[in-house]
Structure 1
Amino acid sequence: MTHRFDVTVYYEDTDMGGIVYHANYLKFIERARSDWVRGLGVDQNMLRDGGLVFAVRRVEADFLGPARLDDRLEVETEVLSATGARIELGQKIRSGGKTLFRAKVQLVAMDPAGGVRRLPAELRARIA
């Protein structure tokens, strides 16, 4: 299943030329991931209180075209794979049907001290 999340490019997201600053693409895909998890019915505050957090372990990013001030963007998120403690997602940012950015993001489940934790079975089932 593909999750979709809409973003509008604001002035604060751009450089002096009105083009989205490269690091902000990572912010856009982070917001989309948070919305995706929320859409699964997962309360990340409850997970954290129970000793489980997600951390980004790896990001492979391709910048394919510029997004500009006032553009309406759509961030697509899909699960590529999942194991006991790891989730790999594919994310794309599109505008007007054109892909501007794509990334593979590897998340790991961790305890607050930084140790790897297994994903709860219920969460693995929701992801699948």
Structure 2
Amino acid sequence: MTTYSFPVRVYYEDTDMAGIVYHANYLKFIERARSEWVKEQGLDQNAMREEGIVFVVRKIDCDYLAPAKYDDELEVRTQVKSMTGVRLIMTQEVLRGEEILFRAEVTAVCATMDGHPSRLPAKLRQKVH
């Protein structure tokens, strides 16, 4: 499957007292990349929300492999691992050059605004399969 690439620069605000990227910020980096990937697929999340459907992260399994530091230029690579009618599993890696710093497997689903499961948008299912 196609890999989507998203650039990230580490700012001072992203670091902890040791000068390395604070662990929770990797989740922000990969969230931004997933949001941009969704746009790349031709989906408008604002329009989806107005129709009463949103993406929800159900599970994240992640590994912190090496630290990123202030002013590093990083790349988040996102790839669909599998998809069903209701579930999207993606692998995401944060790299500095070719060195993998962080790796995650993210399970996302669609839900109605009141929290009930919903099918993934047909446009996404057709485009990814």
Band of TM-score, shorter chain: over 0.9
Q: What's 2:94 paired with?
A: 93
Residue by residue over 1:29-76, the C-alpha shift from the partner in whole angstroms, topping out at 9 and shown as x without a partner, is: 000000000111110000111111000000000000000000000000
Residue by residue over 1:3-51, the C-alpha shift from the partner in whole angstroms, topping out at 9 and shown as x without a partner, is: 0000000000001221000000000000000000011111000011111
Relative to the length of structure 1, the TM-score reads: 0.98
Structure 1 runs, 4 residues or longer, greater than 6 Å off: none
In the alignment, the residues of structure 2 paired with residue 105 and residue 85 of structure 1 have an alpha-carbon distance, to the nearest angstrom, of 14
Q: What's 1:54 paired with?
A: 55
Relative to the length of structure 2, the TM-score reads: 0.97
- Deviation, 1:120, is 2.7
In the alignment, the residues of structure 1 paired with residue 120 and residue 28 of structure 2 have an alpha-carbon distance, to the nearest angstrom, of 24
In the alignment, the residues of structure 1 paired with residue 71 and residue 123 of structure 2 have an alpha-carbon distance, to the nearest angstrom, of 39
- What one-letter code is carried by the residue in structure 2 that aligns with 1:15? D
Q: What's 2:107 paired with?
A: 106
- What one-letter code is carried by the residue in structure 2 that aligns with 1:50? E
In the alignment, the residues of structure 1 paired with residue 58 and residue 90 of structure 2 have an alpha-carbon distance, to the nearest angstrom, of 12
- What one-letter code is carried by the residue in structure 2 that aligns with 1:4? S
Q: What's 1:126 paired with?
A: 127
Backbone CA RMSD of aligned residues: 0.7
Matches within 5 A, 1:1-128: 1-128=2-129
How many residues align structurally?
128
Residue by residue over 1:80-113, the C-alpha shift from the partner in whole angstroms, topping out at 9 and shown as x without a partner, is: 0000111000000000210000000000110000
- What one-letter code is carried by the residue in structure 2 that aligns with 1:13? D
